[in-house]
Structure 1
Amino acid sequence: MSPQAGRRCSFGRRQGGHMLRRVLLIVVMLWSGATYAAEITDSAGRIVQVPDHVARVLPAGPPAAVLLAALAPDLMIGWPMPLADAARPLLAPGAANLPQIPRVTGHEDVSAAIKPLKPDLIVDYGTISARYADLAQATQERTGVPTILLDGSLVKSSDMIRRLGALLHREQRAETLARFAEALLSLPPPANHPRVLYARGAAGLLAAAPDSDLTEVFRLLGWQVVAPDGNGTFRPTTIDKIRKIDPDVLVFSEPAVRETLAHDDAWKAVRAVSEGHVIIAPSLPFGWIENPPSINRLLGLAWLEGSDPETLAALANAIVYGHVLTPAEHRAVLAPLQP
C-alpha cells in the first residue's frame, strides 16, 4: 500500500470513529425518551440537539451557575462550587437552597456522578477555546446529555442571556436581565486610564494576568492591566515586584488585605498605597470584578465607571439575584468599601 493510500485509510478510520460516536450518542438520546425539538449552534460552533422541554439544567462551572441562578433558578440542579454562607441569604430561595454538585469544568471526569442527577441539559458559560469546546463535546458523549458552550465575555452577555432564555422558555425574564446588562454596558467609560494591578489572596500577592478573562472589566474601562512576568491566570508576586511595576491603582478581591496593608510597612513603599489609590472590591453574593467571571462582573464595570455603589448594590441584587437586600445585608455587601 502506498503512503498516500495508508494516510487515506487512516483518515477514513478516523472519520468512521467520529461517525460511530455520533450514532451512539443519538441512540443514547433516543433511549432516554426525550423529545429533541431544537437544533442550536453554540458559541463554539457545535450543533447540539436540545430537548423541547427542559426541566433540569446542570451548570458546568461557576460562571454558568451564576447565570442560571439569575435566569432560571427553578431549573438549576445545584452549585458546582461551594457557596459562601454569607452569600446564601442574598439570593432568591430557589437558588440559595440548592446543593453542591460535581463541577464539569474541573480537572476530573465527573460524568459518572452527573448521570444520577438526570439533567436534561448541561450549560457551560465562559471562555470559547478548543479546550472548552472539546470538554463540552466529551461531556455530551460520555453522559448522553446535550451540552452547550456559551460565550462568557461581558460584551456579549445580553445576547447570551437572550439565547439561553429562549432555549429554556424564559424569554421574559431573559429580556429583563439582558436590558439591565445593556444599560450597565452602555455607561460612559471614565476619562482616566490608569495602570492597574488586580490581585487575589489575603496577602494581596496573587496578581491576575493582563490578558485573562478575570481582568476583562478593566480592559473594557480602558485601564491598562499590569502584572509581573510569568505564566498562568494568577502569578505569585512580592511587594517589591509590585513596587517596581508601579501601578497607579491597586485592586484587591479580599477584604482581609486591608489589615495586611495597615500592618505591613513594606506596602508603604508602593506608590499606589502611599497615595491612597487602593480599592477592595465587594464580593457578595459574588465578586464584582470576577470570581466567578460571569454576569456578576457587570456590577464591577458600572461601579468603576462611577456609579454609586449603594444604589448599584440594591438594584442589582433585586434585579439579578431576585432578593431585596435588608439594611444589614446592604451594609454587609458594601463592607469592603468602608475605610
Structure 2
Amino acid sequence: MTTDMAGREVILPDHIHRPLGAAPPLTALLYALDPELVLALNIPFSPASDGFVDPRMSTLPIIGSSMGHGRQVNPETLLQLQPDVALVWLNRFMSPGSDVIEKPFRTTGIPIVYVKLDTLEDWIAAFEYVGSLVGRAERGKQLAAYIRQSLQRVSSGLAGIGNKQQVTVYYAETADGLATDCHTSFHTEAINLAHGYNLYRCQPKTMMGQERVDMEQVMLWNPQYIVAQDSMFTRRAAADKRWQRLSAFLNQRVLTVPHLPMNWLDRPPSFMRALGIQWLANAFYPQQFPFNLKEETRYFYQLFLGVDLTDQQLAILLDSDQAIKGDE
C-alpha cells in the first residue's frame, strides 16, 4: 500500500520492476532514475538524439500518452507490456478520477499512481517519491538535490533583480514565431524562474497552450529578448524586416532553446529545466549570474542522462544556443 502524490491510497506489488510512464514527463523521470526502468516511450526521440540517450530507447515501443495531443494509450498495448504500475501526470489541468486519464488502466486492472509535476520544484519530491517506489531511493535523492540546488542558485543569484530591472521576453514557440504561452502557464515557468518578464500576460486557456498572437502585437511589445523553440523561426525571421526591427534582433538577443535529447525548457516540461533556468539566467543577466555553460552542461548530462559529452556532442548540442549579448 502506498499513498500517491494525489493523496490516494493505492495497493501495489511489494517490488516494482516494470513501471510505466503514462506521459512524457513521467517517462523522462524514469529514464533519469535508470534507463532500464523504461518499458516504452510516449513519443520517439529524434534521430539527432543518437549518442545522447541509451541505444535501447530506439528498440522500445511507442505507446502514446494518457493526456495531451497525439496518440493515446490503449488497453491492448498495456496488456502486452504488463506493467506493475502506471505513473500518471498530476497537474492543474487534470484531476484524479478523470476518464480521459484512467479508463485504459481501469479496464486492464493496472494500478495508477499519480505523480505531481506541475512545477520544476515538484520534481524534487517526485524524484524522491518515485525513486523510493521503484527501488532507486538514493538515486532519486541525488537527482532531487540537484534540482533543489539549481533553483536555489538561480534564486539567490538574481535576488537583486527587482520588477523594474527585469528584462522583457517574448516566447516564440513555432516556426512563424506567432504562437506563445501565458506568463502563468507551466510552459513558461523557466522564463519566470530566470526573472524574465513574459510579455504575454494572461491565464492559459488550455493545457497544450501555444496561443496565437499577431505580428502587430509583438511589434508593440518590442521585447528585449526572444526565446525561440524552433530554429526555423530564427532563419525565417532573419529575412523578415518586421522581426528585424525588434530590439531583441537589433541587439542579437534571440535565444534558441537547446533540445537534445529533450528540450531544456518545455515540451515536454522535464528535469531538463534545472539546466535551462541557469542557461536563461546567465543569458538575461550575465553580470548577476556568471555561469560556465559548457562545464555545467557536461556535469548535468553525466548526472541525469549518463552521457559523457564529447567536444563534438557539446558543440552540436549548443549550436542552437544563439545567445549573443548586445553589450559585449
CA distance in 1, matches of 2:304, 2:235: 31
Match status 1:121 vs 2:123: no
The CA deviation at 1:198 is 1.0
Match of 2:121 in 1: 155
Match of 2:313 in 1: 329
Match of 1:104 in 2: 66
CA distance in 1, matches of 2:96, 2:255: 32
The CA deviation at 1:269 is 2.6
Match of 1:246 in 2: 222
Greater share of helix: 1
CA distance in 1, matches of 2:106, 2:293: 45
CA deviations over 1:292-312 (Å, ceiling 9, x no partner): 111111111121222322122
Q: 1:109 to 1:178 in 2, by over 3 A?
A: closer
CA distance in 2, matches of 1:132, 1:309: 39
Percent of paired sites with the same residue:
25
CA distance in 1, matches of 2:89, 2:49: 21
Q: 1:123 to 1:109 in 2, by over 3 A?
A: closer
The CA deviation at 1:96 is 5.3
Question: Please, what TM-score do these two structures have when normalized by structure 2?
Answer: 0.84
Q: 1:139 to 1:131 in 2, by over 3 A?
A: farther
CA distance in 2, matches of 1:94, 1:324: 17
- Corresponding pairs, count: 301
Match of 1:23 in 2: none
Report which of the two structures shows the higher radius of gyration computed on alpha carbons. 1
Q: 1:217 to 1:126 in 2, by over 3 A?
A: farther
Q: 1:216 to 1:228 in 2, by over 3 A?
A: closer
What is the CA RMSD across the aligned residues, in angstroms? Answer: 2.2
CA distance in 2, matches of 1:49, 1:224: 45
Match status 1:275 vs 2:251: yes
Q: Which amino acid in 2 is paired with 1:323? A: V
Kept in 1: contact 2:20–2:83 (CA 8 A): yes
Q: Secondary structure at the match of 1:279?
A: strand
Mapping of 1:1-339 within 5 angstroms? 39-95=1-57, 97-106=59-68, 108=72, 110-125=74-89, 127-131=91-95, 133-134=97-98, 135-152=100-117, 153-189=119-155, 190=158, 191=161, 192-227=165-200, 231-232=205-206, 233-306=209-282, 307-338=291-322
CA distance in 2, matches of 1:197, 1:113: 40
CA distance in 1, matches of 2:68, 2:264: 23
CA distance in 2, matches of 1:302, 1:54: 34
Kept in 2: contact 1:126–1:294 (CA 8 A): no
Kept in 2: contact 1:61–1:124 (CA 8 A): yes
CA deviations over 1:248-295 (Å, ceiling 9, x no partner): 321001122221122111212323222322211111111111121111
Q: Secondary structure at the match of 1:320?
A: helix
Q: Which amino acid in 2 is paired with 1:80? A: N
Unaligned runs of 5+ in 2: 283-290
Q: Spell out structure 1 runs of 4+ moving beyond 6 A.
A: none
Question: Please, what TM-score do these two structures have when normalized by structure 1?
Answer: 0.82
Kept in 2: contact 1:136–1:149 (CA 8 A): no
CA distance in 2, matches of 1:259, 1:132: 43
Match of 2:287 in 1: none
Q: 1:199 to 1:303 in 2, by over 3 A?
A: same
Q: Secondary structure at the match of 1:181?
A: helix
Q: 1:289 to 1:151 in 2, by over 3 A?
A: same
Kept in 2: contact 1:217–1:297 (CA 8 A): yes
Q: 1:97 to 1:317 in 2, by over 3 A?
A: farther
Q: Which amino acid in 1 is paired with 2:261? A: P
CA distance in 1, matches of 2:21, 2:179: 27
Q: 1:287 to 1:126 in 2, by over 3 A?
A: farther
Q: Which amino acid in 2 is paired with 1:113? A: T
The CA deviation at 1:137 is 4.0
Kept in 1: contact 2:183–2:201 (CA 8 A): no
Q: Which amino acid in 2 is paired with 1:86? A: A
Kept in 2: contact 1:207–1:228 (CA 8 A): no
CA deviations over 1:212-235 (Å, ceiling 9, x no partner): 111111222333222287844111
Could you tell which deviates more after superposition, 292-301 or 263-272? 263-272
CA distance in 2, matches of 1:286, 1:222: 23
